[in-house]
Amino acid sequence: MKHWLIVLCALLLAMPMAQAQKPGEKAYAPEDLNKLTQPEQIRVLEKQYAELSGGRLLPEDQLEFYLEQIPRGWTYAQITEDMAQSLRDRVEGNTFPDRLPPAGGWTTPGYTTRFPERGRSILCESIRNTYRECASGFRNPAVIERQLSGTDCVEGRSWGHRPGVIWVANGCRASFLESAPAAAQLPEVTCQSVRGYRECNVAFRGPAQLVRQVSGSSLCVEGRTWGQRPGLIWVDRGCGGVFTEAYRPSGGFYAVDQYDETVVDCASISMGYTLCSWNDRDGRPFLLEQYSIMPCVEGQSWGYTPRRGLWVDAGCRARFGAGGR
């Protein structure tokens, strides 16, 4: 009897040793996340993102994206690398816009690194006839201050603008200034939600902005109680406001009518990061039209990689097409 008690005690003492974690073994996640239940997957992903980001919450749309990829074969290592890449993208892009860039400026190549003060000019140059975008921070249309190239800078052909962005091509090099505000000269449209959701047609060519709120206690917050799509404004939950056209772009380098087959609208709601569906077989997307007042600058407030897909951030709302010149 004593012999069996000794054996039993030895087994009980050995059990914790058998369950101890082996050196080098992952603390809380197998490489194949399909072995976990979905609540366990969510816990693992949120914990990993918090560790990589210094305690930030994993954005809901990014979490949903990873949960969709796990059944398709994405491993724990792949998701970890994608999280790290997404955090690098956000740091390098310095997600826009009402924040000043870091002391050394943005690190994304090819873009102006600092917003100008009112009256200060922005230099934007097409080197070797290539297309280039420069983040201006302008809330009103840009005008040429001084042409620096021997090649003529023709608006709509070799240079143009949209909110917060100047683009140049075909050898155009120039310094640009922000023009005086002209919003008060544009027609106004009143749109009010009385019994829930309502849409109001508008003839604006560019994005709309809220001039003044006419509803009582219901706040008008873009992306929550009001928003816009091409040709209309929508309001909800009692929001009522007077809207006007905020900005008239001078046209993009890529023409909208080139992209009749593959066109995707992608919107950053409440200044947040958003992933949008994009078919890799269509190739790389190009920005066709910007609807937001907030700038859409590739590498800063929108981007694309085959693994992650099309993303927007910091209030960028735009239409994208496939292909290009």
Structural domain range at position 131: 122-178
3-state secondary structure of 157: coil
Distance, in Å, from the CA atom of 98 to the CA atom of 304, rounded to the nearest integer, reads: 23
Say if 275 falls within a structural domain.
yes
Say if 11 falls within a structural domain.
no
Among residues 221, 140, 143, which one has the least CA distance to residue 177?
A: 143
So what's the pLDDT on residue 10? 52
Say if 219 falls within a structural domain.
yes
Let me know whether 267 and 224 are in one domain. no
CA angle 224, 227, 232 (to 5 degrees): 155
Let me know whether 173 and 194 are in one domain. no
Which of 21-30, 118-127, 204-213 shows the lowest mean pLDDT across its residues? 21-30
So what's the pLDDT on residue 211? 82
Let me know whether 155 and 208 are in one domain. no
Local confidence band at 103 (pLDDT 50, 70, 90 cut-offs): very low
Say if 16 falls within a structural domain.
no
pLDDT in tens, 259-284: 556 788 888 877 788 888 888 888 88
Say if 223 falls within a structural domain.
yes
So what's the pLDDT on residue 191? 94
Distance, in Å, from the CA atom of 219 to the CA atom of 217, rounded to the nearest integer, reads: 6
Tally DSSP H helices, then E strands, for the chain: 4, 18
Which of 43-52, 76-85, 95-104, 286-295 shows the lowest mean pLDDT across its residues? 95-104
Distance, in Å, from the CA atom of 72 to the CA atom of 125, rounded to the nearest integer, reads: 44
Say if 251 falls within a structural domain.
no
Which of 53-67, 79-93, 208-222, 296-310 shows the lowest mean pLDDT across its residues? 79-93
Decide which of 93, 111, 139 is a domain's last residue: 93
Distance, in Å, from the CA atom of 238 to the CA atom of 215, rounded to the nearest integer, reads: 7
Residue 152 confidence (pLDDT) above 80 = yes
So what's the pLDDT on residue 160? 92
Let me know whether 53 and 87 are in one domain. yes
What DSSP line would sit under 36-79, residue for residue?
A: S-HHHHHHHHHHHHHHHHTSPPPPHHHHHHHHHHGGGT--HHHH
Q: Is 69 left (phi over 0), alpha (psi -120 to 50) or beta?
A: alpha
Let me know whether 268 and 296 are in one domain. yes
Highest mean pLDDT among 25-29, 84-88, 103-107, 261-265: 261-265
pTM to 2 decimal places: 0.49
Half-sphere exposure of 132 (CA within 13 A, CB side): 21
Let me know whether 174 and 210 are in one domain. no
So what's the pLDDT on residue 323? 62
Decide which of 133, 152, 178 is a domain's last residue: 178
DSSP 113: -
Say if 80 falls within a structural domain.
yes
Judge contact between 320 and 263, C-beta under 8 A.
Answer: yes
What is the spatial order of strands in the sheet that 274-276 belongs to?
274-276, 309-312, 302-305
Local confidence band at 79 (pLDDT 50, 70, 90 cut-offs): confident
The count of structural domains within the chain is 4
Say if 12 falls within a structural domain.
no
Exposure string over 189-212, b if 16+ CB within 10 A, otherwise e: bebbbeeeebebebebebbbbbbe
Decide which of 217, 243, 269 is a domain's last residue: 243
DSSP 35: G
Judge contact between 249 and 291, C-beta under 8 A.
Answer: no
Let me know whether 296 and 265 are in one domain. yes
Half-sphere exposure of 320 (CA within 13 A, CB side): 26
Among residues 163, 214, 173, 174, which one has the least CA distance to residue 193?
A: 214
So what's the pLDDT on residue 171? 94
Average pLDDT over residues 174-182: 81
Q: How far is CA 155 from CA 30, 135, 160, 321, 324, in A?
A: 56, 17, 5, 22, 20
User: Residue holding tokens 């544009």?
Assistant: 186
